[in-house]
Amino acid sequence: FGYVASAPGDENIHFHDLELGWLFTGSGFFPFMYCYKTGNWLLYLEGTSGQWFYDYSVNAWREAGQIGG
């Protein structure tokens, strides 16, 4: 993941990924992330090689490069 933006004391963050664009998550949401590029929520799969997400717009597991293309 790339650039991260958060306000002091805020548990929510916005960050930029080169393939997915801007994402939103926070301590009350993670491992769920909102993808602004697609307008949908994604579920991040931790502990895998690469960036795998459950993409609720297509109800399938996808790699970051396959989302919103």
Taking a C-beta distance cutoff of 8 angstroms, is the pair 67, 18 a contact? Answer: no
**CA distances for 59 relative to 2, 4, 37, angstroms:** 26, 27, 17
pLDDT tens string, the chain, 69 residues long: the values are 555 555 566 688 888 888 899 999 988 999 999 999 999 999 999 888 888 999 999 999 999 999 986
Enter the pTM of the model. Answer: 0.82
Residues sharing a CB contact under 8 Å with residue 32, sequence separation 6 or more, in sequence order: 25, 41, 42, 43, 44
